[in-house]
Chains A and B, each alone.
Chain A
Amino acid sequence: MHEFTNEIFQSAKAAGKSIISHKLRSLLTILGIVIGIASVIIVISVTHALGTVISVQLEDFASDMVTLQAKTPEDKKQLGITSQLSYDDYLYLESRSQFVQDMSPSVMLTESTPKLIYRRNSATSSLIGATSLYQNVVNVYPQYGRFINPSDDQQRRRVVFIGPTVVKNLSMKNDPVGEYMQINNDWFLIIGVGEVRGSFFGVDQDNYILMPVSTMRSMFGPDITNNISVLFRPIPGVHIDIVTQELTNLLRATQNLRAHEANTFEFVTAERLKSQFDSILSVVLAVTGGLVGVSLVVGGIGVMNIMLVSVTERTKEIGILKSLGATSRCIMIQFLFESILLSLVGGLVGLALGALFAELFSALLPVPLEELIPVWAIWLSILFTSSIGIFFGLAPALKASRLDPIDALRYE
């Protein structure tokens, strides 16, 4: 046993020396593996990062919020009919639903961009009509002032709750509550400023103006609420499917849909968004995983090729070692170690390059990552490269170990 340990140790040492004394050749040998592993790490770290970002952001932005919006079924689309979800539908659901905790319409101005003026500054932003419950559904809390309240809505008050980006773009002072601003030439009282929410995939979440939906209707006419979105969250503990089922039944009834007709609306949940992202990511991962796997096999064949050349080149050396008492097993282990070591070094260099890329990439992300590269990916690449080393090193190692000492010594 002690002899065997010595054999292993000496073989590993010889393998290391051989790699070091052929630096350029070693470098070329591992290039394929370096590129392969670097791409593995890049793909894994990017998908991992995107996955993390998506779940973090979806959680931040109302994880249990559901958006109800119009959706035209295919058959109706062909007839040129567009489905709508009206303000009346909202009022009906509001009054009838048992399982909804908070519900608010969300009316977006889509035809035109509102023109905002404050003193001599102008800017643009999205304009949303909502009720006081919008705050609870979407999780927008005032940084200064207050949110829209029910009496604002009942009285159609000309008040706005604005996002921090609007404050910045219009060069207002930090706390502009109590001041007036102009929207499309009408004056509005600023009643509150929302907290900073950051951006979601490059889209600023703080550039908005909220006003009571009744005010919006009086300003732009009731047609503005012909097609709206409805935001809500279920009563805690009630499963989302129960709520959507209830609302589906109510809506189908009030829209007089017949049994064979498809729904004219859809529910969008954070869960659904995430699973859509996840399925896209996993397809990306699978496709690139396949490509990268192929590139690693090519890299392995590269190692095998150069190892075979190196065995031929070193035939004489192998003959000398055998004449001095090296066993076939010794020679075999040495060459096997050499290919494992080469692959492993290739893997580690690839890992380093991949990590460097991941580091650069993570700087572009809106949220900090707990780990750049998942630990399993590191172990996987180490395991994978050593397997490549063993698998593709076997043929050259066998070839070397089977050399006849006399033939090998005579080789020039």
Chain B
Amino acid sequence: MKDVVLELKGVSKAYKFEDGEHLALKSIDLNIYKNSYNAITGPSGSGKSTLMNILGCLDKPTAGEYLLNEQRVTNMSEAQLSMIRNREVGFVFQNYNLLPRASVIDNVMQPLMYRVMSQRQRVDAAMHQLERVGLAHKSKSIPNQLSGGQRQRVAVARALVSEPSILLGDEPTGNLDTETTWEIMALFDELHAEGNTIVLVTHETDIAEHCQRRICIVDGEIDSDIDVASFYGESVNA
């Protein structure tokens, strides 16, 4: 049996307008397993980011159930959601979303600020992650002194610092050139090899090919769900 980290049951998301609503996600059922490496692909506007925001507990579904490590996220209070965002999820955005006036180390430490621990421990944990992404020497810089690839490494270090159950990336290489894209993907590959559970959104097939499992979303619905391993006999959504 594989351990389930994320579990979506009939999750829908409707955006309301003055005249009606737009169903961005249509009753999605999806399990993400521990230590798996997943790509979510699909055309622009198909609902990938909407799905990721729900997985990252930044947004709530309008229908259905979402369980993270067997905890029911739907119905959680604002404070509980903050706690989940802080401890269970590491989110990497396309546009990095670093704090512009804070140094690299302060950016990486930020999630630990909401936890009771000594400043020494925070610095140590942040430096450890910066070493992990190869940017320990830039710890005192501020984000706009770094290249795009370096900024995204900082963002990855920040996502990892809280030792989350799952690492989410919404088009993490979307703003990067080809060479840097491969560097960042190599980093994700390594992180997966080290045992992290990863879900990446991408619309590039080359990138999706890094992942074992490729989930394609079209128009708010799962269009295809292929686990490379299943070619050798294992089916995912049987």
| Binary contact track B72-105/A, C-beta < 8 Å → 1, others 0 | 0000001100110111000101000111110000
B59 within 8 Å of A (CB atoms): yes
Selected contact of A320 from candidates B79, B83, B97, CB within 8 Å: B97
Whether the Cβ atoms of B110 and A321 lie closer than 8 Å is yes
CA distance A240 to B116 in the complex (A): 72
A330 cross-chain contacts in B, Cβ below 8 A: 82, 114
- Most chain B CB atoms below 10 A, which of A2, A21, A320, A324: A324
B115 within 8 Å of A (CB atoms): yes
Contacts of B146-183 to chain A: CB distance below 8 A: 158, 162
Whether the Cβ atoms of B78 and A325 lie closer than 8 Å is no
A7 within 8 Å of B (CB atoms): yes
CA distance A21 to B99 in the complex (A): 13
Contacts of B39-56 to chain A: CB distance below 8 A: 53, 56
B58 within 8 Å of A (CB atoms): yes
Whether the Cβ atoms of B83 and A323 lie closer than 8 Å is no
B186 within 8 Å of A (CB atoms): no
Whether the Cβ atoms of A327 and B116 lie closer than 8 Å is no
Selected contact of B58 from candidates A326, A328, A405, CB within 8 Å: A405
Selected contact of A326 from candidates B59, B98, B114, CB within 8 Å: B114
B113 within 8 Å of A (CB atoms): yes
Contacts of A306-323 to chain B: CB distance below 8 A: 316-317, 319-323
- Most chain A CB atoms below 10 A, which of B78, B110, B114, B158: B114
Whether the Cβ atoms of B114 and A409 lie closer than 8 Å is no
Whether the Cβ atoms of B87 and A324 lie closer than 8 Å is no
A298 within 8 Å of B (CB atoms): no
Selected contact of A322 from candidates B82, B93, B115, CB within 8 Å: B82
Selected contact of A6 from candidates B97, B98, B115, CB within 8 Å: B115
| Binary contact track A5-42/B, C-beta < 8 Å → 1, others 0 | 01100100000000001000000000000000000000
Whether the Cβ atoms of B91 and A6 lie closer than 8 Å is no
A323-B56, A405-B58 are contacts. A2–B85 as well, Cβ < 8 Å?
A: no
CB distance from A323 to the nearest CB of B (A): 6
B111 within 8 Å of A (CB atoms): yes
CA distance A7 to B56 in the complex (A): 23
A329 within 8 Å of B (CB atoms): yes
CB distance from B47 to the nearest CB of A (A): 14
CA distance A322 to B53 in the complex (A): 13
A7 cross-chain contacts in B, Cβ below 8 A: 114
A370 within 8 Å of B (CB atoms): no
A223 cross-chain contacts in B, Cβ below 8 A: none
CA distance A323 to B158 in the complex (A): 12
CB distance from A321 to the nearest CB of B (A): 7
Secondary structure dominating the interface of A: helix
CB distance from B163 to the nearest CB of A (A): 13
A291 within 8 Å of B (CB atoms): no
A320-B99, A325-B83 are contacts. A409–B58 as well, Cβ < 8 Å?
A: yes
CA distance A317 to B98 in the complex (A): 8
Per the CB 8 Å criterion, the residue count for chain A at the interface is: 23
A380 within 8 Å of B (CB atoms): no
Whether the Cβ atoms of B97 and A325 lie closer than 8 Å is no
Whether the Cβ atoms of B97 and A409 lie closer than 8 Å is yes
CB distance from A317 to the nearest CB of B (A): 6
Whether the Cβ atoms of B79 and A325 lie closer than 8 Å is no
Closest A residue to B101 by beta carbon equals: A21
A324-B86, A324-B110 are contacts. A317–B116 as well, Cβ < 8 Å?
A: no
CA distance A409 to B87 in the complex (A): 19
Selected contact of A323 from candidates B97, B100, B113, B116, CB within 8 Å: B97
CB distance from A42 to the nearest CB of B (A): 37
CA distance A65 to B110 in the complex (A): 74
B100 cross-chain contacts in A, Cβ below 8 A: 317
CA distance A321 to B158 in the complex (A): 12
Whether the Cβ atoms of A326 and B82 lie closer than 8 Å is yes
CB distance from A178 to the nearest CB of B (A): 85
A21-B101, A320-B97, A406-B53 are contacts. A325–B114 as well, Cβ < 8 Å?
A: yes
Whether the Cβ atoms of A329 and B83 lie closer than 8 Å is no
A3 within 8 Å of B (CB atoms): yes
Contacts of B53-71 to chain A: CB distance below 8 A: 53, 56, 58-59
User: Which residues on A are within 8 Å of B, measured CB to CB?
Assistant: 2-3, 6-7, 10, 21, 316-317, 319-330, 405-406, 409
Given A323-B85, A325-B86, A325-B87: 6 more A-B contacts, CB < 8 Å: A3-B116, A7-B114, A321-B110, A324-B85, A325-B111, A325-B162
Selected A-B contacts with CB under 8 Å, 27 pairs: A3-B116, A6-B114, A7-B114, A10-B114, A317-B100, A319-B97, A320-B99, A322-B58, A323-B56, A323-B85, A323-B91, A324-B85, A324-B158, A325-B111, A325-B162, A326-B114, A327-B82, A327-B114, A328-B79, A328-B82, A329-B79, A405-B58, A405-B59, A406-B53, A406-B58, A406-B59, A409-B97
User: Which residues on B are within 8 Å of A, measured CB to CB?
Assistant: 53, 56, 58-59, 78-79, 82-83, 85-87, 91, 93, 97-101, 110-111, 113-116, 158, 162
A-B pairs, top 4 by smallest CB distance, nearest first, are A325-B86, A327-B82, A324-B111, A325-B114
